[in-house]
A and B are shown apart, each in its own frame.
Chain A
Amino acid sequence: MRKILLAFTLALALTGCAQLQSAVNFATVGVANPITKNMLYEAENGAIVVFAGLNAYKQTCVAGAIASSCKDTIRAIQQYTRQIPPQLKVLRAYVKNNDQVNAGVVYNTIMQLLANAKATASANGINIGG
């Protein structure tokens, strides 16, 4: 069980990396779109690792390998992760169309949702590192 929790902890710790956590600063309107296709690619691959960890935690929970309170924890995290897909769809469109400013706004929204999911996990006793 400790190894399973460690995997989950480390997965969520990935949200501390530059691409996933740093908010893009938009001081003025009209600046060149800072969310490039490369940045999107890097962020999404980082998110893949995070969700790989989350799914591993969920699998162990469903299997009954950890305390049943894990289900409540997962539902609490899902409040945030369920908001991500439509935001992600919008972000991808903005980036591909080079929509200035808007991509950064949506990117920040997604980063906040990930941060909230991370905070929720931490509040439920899952140690978030980094």
Chain B
Amino acid sequence: MDFAAILLLVQKGITIAEALLAAGQTAAPALTAIKNLVTGAAKGSVSDDDLAATEAQLDSLIEQFNLDIA
């Protein structure tokens, strides 16, 4: 894994999570993603179950954003 790139991603993710919280928004998805990145980097490889969980969460978030807005 590219640890430098992961660290950069985590740093930006933390900044975003802080901004979301400051704006009164939920940061749970962002924090989960950050945790996944750190955990994955520590393990060195990702399991199929971990990948599937991430894919499910991303699909849900994309679907939510893509819903028509009145």
- State the A residues within 8 Å of B (CB): 3-4, 6-7, 10-11, 13-14, 16-19, 37-38, 40-42, 44-49, 51-56, 58-62, 71, 74-75, 78, 81-82, 84-85, 88, 92, 130
Contacts and interface: CB of A to CB of B under 8 A. Distances in A.
B20 A56 contact: yes
7 contacts: A17-B5, A37-B46, A42-B40, A46-B37, A48-B32, A49-B12, A55-B64
Interface string B26-70: 110110111011001000011000110011011101111110011
Interface of B: 1-2, 5-6, 8-9, 12-13, 15-17, 19-20, 22-27, 29-30, 32-34, 36-37, 40, 45-46, 50-51, 54-55, 57-59, 61-66, 69-70
B29 A49 contact: yes
Contacts of A10: 12, 15-16, 19
Nearest to B14: A49
B50 to A, nearest CB: 7
A19 to B, nearest CB: 6
Contact of B12 (A17, A42, A56): A17
A78 B16 contact: no
A14 B13 contact: yes
Q: Considering residues B13, B16, B40, which has the most beta carbons from chain A within 10 angstroms of its beta carbon?
A: B16
Contacts of A61: 69
